[in-house]
Amino acid sequence: MNLPFHIAKRYLFSRKKQNVINVISMISVIGVTIGTMALVIVLSVFNGFDGLIRSLFGSFDPDLKILPATGKTFVPDSTFEQIRKMETVVFYSEVLEENALLKYGNKQRPAIVKGVDEEFTLMTGIDTMMVEGQFILNSGRYNFAVLGYGVALDLGVGLSFTDFIKFYVPKRDAKLGLNPMDAFSSEFLYPSGYFTIQQDFDSQYVLVPLQFARNLFDYKKEVSAIELAIQNPEEVEKVKDEIQKLLGDKFQVKNRFELHDVLFKMMQSEKMAIFFILAFILLIASFNVIGSLTMLILDKKKDIATLRSMGAEEKTIQKIFLLEGWLISIIGATSGVTLGLIICFVQIKYGLITLSGNGAFIMNSYPVEVHFTDIFIIFTTVVFIGYVASRYPVRYITKRFLQFN
């Protein structure tokens, strides 16, 4: 029998009498439980938003994107044909991006015009993100434009209207003349639909056929990037390194994270900040454990003397109260993790807590994603905090009273 553990358990769970020590112990357990539960829920919600944003970006961004190290455009050579034929590359899409001025009726605004080929739709699945109309860029005889919802809203574009969108871009060899409009090239397209992914995309991008973009911007075979879809997502980094070695320093190969590294790093920083803030709150809540153990040691002074007279060593007596404090932390951590997981799984299944905004978001309830790595870190942190919080009263107060006996 583990004597210190047995005595510590008796002190914590004994119901022979209810006094202020029992109440403080229960408050300590509840405080640790609530703090742990908050950590589980908040970090899982952060994981949910992170996963949501990654999935949304996956509807527009490729697994890998090849960009020129200098300049805006390049002409793909035979090396890119080798990349196209790689077994790990499922889709290979050429794109051309440039800024243009859009005019629809009496309204106008700048936007990023992105020319894409047929494989872009298959690679990204953007056709599943349409909110109105259809994802049609070319019907055989006619070309069309697909707009981000924010761009369409600003221009007042309506699919039921017969008006077209006019695109204006400066000529690369333009010279100043009497008529300023002579310095601009212009083309027009009819809209076929709107997509919504994320505000950065919705408010900036207009998708057009690749050849239309080349005609508009006066290019022949140039592209601004090559976008790739990789067969196995787990091999993205490996394929990225292979392609980078193949292309050399003249090109940059970026994964989906690196394309939006500022956003994802900011989200990770926010998650870490929230974790440390809640962990600090847990540390403050653990002062209840210190108070509970201090009062328990004072209350059990006679028991300490009895155990001492029966031959118990100082380390054994200290271990009893250390285990008492640790039990409070472990019970609180286990209860908090359990309650947090229950609330998370209920939210995942039923979406009880909704987002305010009257349908302005692409989902109605808070996204939740449980990562068991986070659960392990939370549990370990709470138990460690409980251990640290138990050391002071056990080490100093018991030693003080043992000296008087």
Consecutive sets of 10 residues in the chain, 405 residues long: mean pLDDT of each? 65 59 76 92 92 80 93 92 93 95 93 93 84 89 92 89 87 66 85 88 94 93 95 92 94 91 86 89 78 72 70 72 80 94 94 69 81 94 84 68 51
What's the pLDDT at 318?
A: 73
- Is residue 27 within 8 Å of residue 287, measured between CB atoms? no
For 105-213, strand residue ranges (E) read 107-116, 130-133, 144-148, 165-170, 184-195, 205-209
The predicted structure's pLDDT at residue 60: 84
Residue 380 amino acid letter? T
Q: Which pLDDT does position 26 carry in this prediction?
A: 80
Distances from the Cα of 204 to the Cα of 100, 196, 233, 337, 346, angstroms: 11, 11, 28, 42, 37
What span, in angstroms and rounded, lies between the C-alpha atoms of 244 and 252? 7
Cβ partners under 8 Å of residue 92, min gap 6: 83, 84, 119, 226, 227, 228
pTM for the structure as a whole: 0.76
Task: Give me the sign of the Cα torsion angle 267, 271, 272, 276.
Answer: positive
Q: Compute CA 162 distance to the chain's CA centroid, rounded to the nearest angstrom.
A: 41
Distance of CA 126 to the CA centre of its chain: 20
Q: Please answer whether residues 45 and 291 qualify as being in contact, where contact means their C-beta atoms are separated by less than 8 angstroms.
A: no
Alpha-carbon gap, residue 21 to 352, rounded angstroms? 38
CA 132 to chain centre: 28
Report in angstroms the alpha-carbon separations of 238 from 78, 226, 232, 234, 246: 22, 18, 10, 8, 13
Q: How buried is 71 (Cβ within 10 angstroms: 0-12 exposed, 13-18 middle, 19+ buried)? A: exposed
311 φ/ψ sector (left φ>0, alpha ψ -120 to 50, else beta) = left
Give the number of other Cβ atoms within 10 Å of residue 270's Cβ.
13
- CA 290/CA 293 separation, integer angstroms: 5
Phi, psi of 225 (to 5 degrees): -165, 160
pLDDT of residue 404: 44
pLDDT for the residue numbered 320 = 75
Element housing 184 (H / E): strand 184-195
Indicate the SS3 state at residue 176: coil
Structure tokens at 87: 């077994």
How is residue 134 written in tokens? Answer: 């259809």
DSSP 232: S
